């Protein structure tokens, strides 16, 4: 079976994965994800129309965001689960279509008779996977024939995936913003228009940046109001000889519930990958059995999970094919899925997820190996950075700090990414790196030292905490009384891998940042014309 996917940085030959994903995604899963997005566009068509008549259904809007999140690279590889999402999407589409038509008919006293796009009305006869796969090949990325329109529609959907992911995280923490969900649906519905122009699409793509900032701000508000503002924290990277659980991904609430449910059980809990920043949140670090961070970024997980020895929980991306050596002790939860891997179900209306199977597994395995580690410093989110702002400004004024390098984003397995380690190593000693996201694992263990107590790697947190980096830049702009953010002694060298980093990039562009370096390669989904326009407008450079 054939497929076509070019949404991430590791896409084959920087053109597209056609037989199997470099990430491990099967053609079936890839095509089913294409169909899911197609039906989400159909839902959005009706939801948009309904909104014009003041009819809204938050559960449907949120489902659209979740559906997009499910298709992010390394989130869900389980064909069966994607089929279930398509089933649910078709149900939800019917519900919102009926709600709209009911109000329309009542209001105008006539039937709704406009021409409706196929995505909004296509109905399978049997709702089975065979039929879904058949339809999927008609509606994938390549179904759009014009190269630039195809590029922009995909750029738009890819950017929306990141917005959707951050918004979904905030909603899990009961922080909401209808405007963001409405924008996601508006933009998705627009991709169904046959007469949409390059300019209209480009404007929508740039608008994603605005909503990216809003989504990151919403998530920041959710995280900090519930778990407190991150504090500068030393995190141990070794392990102790006790039963253990390793928690990876981005979902802080999952970690919180695991910490609560493991209290007094003799289990130590460690973070992995993008969960490292959790160690800096007061309401999480207060748990004594949160013992530190083990391992590096996502692509090293197969070796690291094998070595770790205890139970492992993947709360969001990036999961990789589990080796047999640990397949019986890794668990997925939330939107993450891998065939035949135990899945911890969602919360019931109120109450926590039940992590008992993970806890039992950790206890059954018993103590893991003791390993020595070092300490890394984290916790420089915006509040904490503001508290040391005077010191930073002083160091800039006295010439001790000559430049900042924003090096946020994603890590990946390409050899080329050693560039980021070398870049960090070779920077002048008077420069400071501002980082967020798993890109940091390329240089956060390097012992780059400090400048008058200010570490040379200032780690703001997860990829969504790039928001913190922007706030820090704005504070510096204020402190130096500058008019333009681009007058600051800051260079941006962003590493991307999956779609959330595309959202972060668009958010930086929206904030007016110019001259960003993007690497290790430029996105394959940008056609030559689109790339030229974006590069020219924003002075984007390669590494
Ligand atoms: Fe290929 Fe990336 Fe798509 Fe996976 S997510 S199939 S690696 S382009
Ligand atoms: Fe990393 Fe997957 Fe993107 Fe949240 S964990 S930054 S790649």
Of all protein residues, the one whose alpha carbon is nearest to atom 5 of ligand 1 is 73
232-260 pLDDT tens trace: 999 999 999 999 999 999 999 999 999 99
Dihedral pair phi/psi, residue 532, rounded to 5°: -60, -45
When pLDDT is cut at 50, 70 and 90, the band that residue 319 belongs to is very high
Contact 274, 249 (CB under 8 A): yes
Of all protein residues, the one whose alpha carbon is nearest to atom 7 of ligand 2 is 410
When pLDDT is cut at 50, 70 and 90, the band that residue 137 belongs to is very high
Q: Ligand 2 within 6 A of 462 CB?
A: yes
Task: Output the pLDDT for position 127.
Answer: 76
Compute the mean pLDDT over every residue in the chain, rounded to the nearest whole number.
Answer: 96
Asked whether residue 532 carries a pLDDT value surpassing 90, the answer given is: yes
Asked whether residue 349 carries a pLDDT value surpassing 90, the answer given is: no
% of the chain with per-residue pLDDT over 90: 96
Rounded to the nearest angstrom, the distance between the alpha carbon of 123 and the centre of ligand 2 is: 35
To test the pocket of ligand 2, the residue of 315, 461, 500 to mutate (highest count of ligand atoms within 8 Å of its CB) is: 500
Q: pTM of the full predicted structure?
A: 0.97
Task: Output the pLDDT for position 350.
Answer: 78
Task: Output the pLDDT for position 106.
Answer: 97
Q: Which of 343, 44, 339, 42 is nearest to 185 (CA)?
A: 44
Give the residue-averaged pLDDT of 523-530: 98
From the alpha carbon of 316, which atom of ligand 2 is closest? 5
Task: Output the pLDDT for position 87.
Answer: 97
Of all protein residues, the one whose alpha carbon is nearest to atom 5 of ligand 2 is 318
Task: Output the pLDDT for position 275.
Answer: 98
Give the residue-averaged pLDDT of 7-33: 97
87-111 pLDDT tens trace: 999 999 999 999 999 999 999 999 9
CB atoms within 10 A of CB 406: 25
Ligand nearest to the CA of 23: 1
Rounded to the nearest angstrom, the distance between the alpha carbon of 62 and the centre of ligand 2 is: 22
Collapsed DSSP state (helix, strand, coil) of residue 19:
coil
Asked whether residue 80 carries a pLDDT value surpassing 90, the answer given is: yes
Dihedral pair phi/psi, residue 59, rounded to 5°: -65, -35
Asked whether residue 1 carries a pLDDT value surpassing 80, the answer given is: no
From the alpha carbon of 73, which atom of ligand 2 is closest? 2
Q: Which of 380, 378, 404, 377 is nearest to 479 (CA)?
A: 404
For residues 441 and 389, give the distance between their C-alpha atoms in angstroms, rounded to a whole number. 25
For residues 484 and 392, give the distance between their C-alpha atoms in angstroms, rounded to a whole number. 19
Which of 128-132, 329-333, 393-397 ranks highest by mean pLDDT? 329-333
Task: Output the pLDDT for position 126.
Answer: 85
Tell me which H or E stretch contains 495.
Answer: strand 490-495
For residues 215 and 167, give the distance between their C-alpha atoms in angstroms, rounded to a whole number. 5
Contact 433, 443 (CB under 8 A): yes
To 5 degrees, how large is the angle CA 439–CA 331–CA 306? 65
Give the residue-averaged pLDDT of 26-32: 98
Question: What's the DSSP call for residue 47?
Answer: H
Identify the residue whose tokens are 């450079």: 541
């Amino acid at each position: 079976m054939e497929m076509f996917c070019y949404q991430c940085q590791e896409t084959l030959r920087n053109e597209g994965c056609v037989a199997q994903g470099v990430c491990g995604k099967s053609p079936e899963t890839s095509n089913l994800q294409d169909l899911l997005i197609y039906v989400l566009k159909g839902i959005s068509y009706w939801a948009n129309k309904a909104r014009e008549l003041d009819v809204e259904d938050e559960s449907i809007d949120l489902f659209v965001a979740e559906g997009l999140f499910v298709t992010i690279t390394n989130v869900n590889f389980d064909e069966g689960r994607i089929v279930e999402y398509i089933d649910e999407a078709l149900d939800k589409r019917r519900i919102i279509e009926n709600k709209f038509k009911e109000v329309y008919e009542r209001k105008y006293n006539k039937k709704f008779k406009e021409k409706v796009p196929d995505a909004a009305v296509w109905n399978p006869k049997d709702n089975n996977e065979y039929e879904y796969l058949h339809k999927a090949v008609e509606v994938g990325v390549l179904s759009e024939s014009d190269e630039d329109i195809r590029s922009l529609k995909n750029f738009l959907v890819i950017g929306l995936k990141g917005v959707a992911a951050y918004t979904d995280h905030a909603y899990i923490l009961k922080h909401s913003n209808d405007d963001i969900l409405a924008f996601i649906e508006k933009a998705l519905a627009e991709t169904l228009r046959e007469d949409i122009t390059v300019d209209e699409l480009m404007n929508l793509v740039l608008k994603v940046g605005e909503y990216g900032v809003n989504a990151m701000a919403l998530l920041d508000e959710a995280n900090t109001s519930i778990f407190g503002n991150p504090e500068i924290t030393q995190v141990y990277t070794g392990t102790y000889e006790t039963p253990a659980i390793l928690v990876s991904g981005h979902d802080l609430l999952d970690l919180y519930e695991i910490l609560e449910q493991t209290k007094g059980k003799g289990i130590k809990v460690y973070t992995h990958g993008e969960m490292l920043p959790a160690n800096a949140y007061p309401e999480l670090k207060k748990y004594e059995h949160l013992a530190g961070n083990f391992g590096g970024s996502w692509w090293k997980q197969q070796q690291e999970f094998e070595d770790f020895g205890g139970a492992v929980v993947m709360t969001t991306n990036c999961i990789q094919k589990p080796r047999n050596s640990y397949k019986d002790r890794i668990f997925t939860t939330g939107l993450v899925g891998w065939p035949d891997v135990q899945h911890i179900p969602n919360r019931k209306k109120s109450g926590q997820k039940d992590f008992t199977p993970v806890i039992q597994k950790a206890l059954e395995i018993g103590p893991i190996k003791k390993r020595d580690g070092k300490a890394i410093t984290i916790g420089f989110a915006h509040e904490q950075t503001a508290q040391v702002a005077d010191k930073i400004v002083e160091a800039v004024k006295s010439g001790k700090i000559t430049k900042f390098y924003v090096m946020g984003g994603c890590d990946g397995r390409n050899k080329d990414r050693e560039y980021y380690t070398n870049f960090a190593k070779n920077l002048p000693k008077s420069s400071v790196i501002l980082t967020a996201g798993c890109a940091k694992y390329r240089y956060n263990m390097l012992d780059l030292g400090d400048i008058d107590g200010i570490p040379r790697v200032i780690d703001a947190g997860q990829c969504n905490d790039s928001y913190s980096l922007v706030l820090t830049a704005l504070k510096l702009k204020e402190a130096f009384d500058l008019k333009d953010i681009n007058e600051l002694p800051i260079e941006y060298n962003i590493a991307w891998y999956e779609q959330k980093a595309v959202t972060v990039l668009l958010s930086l562009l929206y904030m007016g940042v110019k001259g960003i370096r993007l690497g290790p390669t430029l996105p394959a989904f940008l056609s030559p014309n689109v790339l030229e326009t974006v590069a020219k407008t924003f002075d984007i450079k390669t590494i």
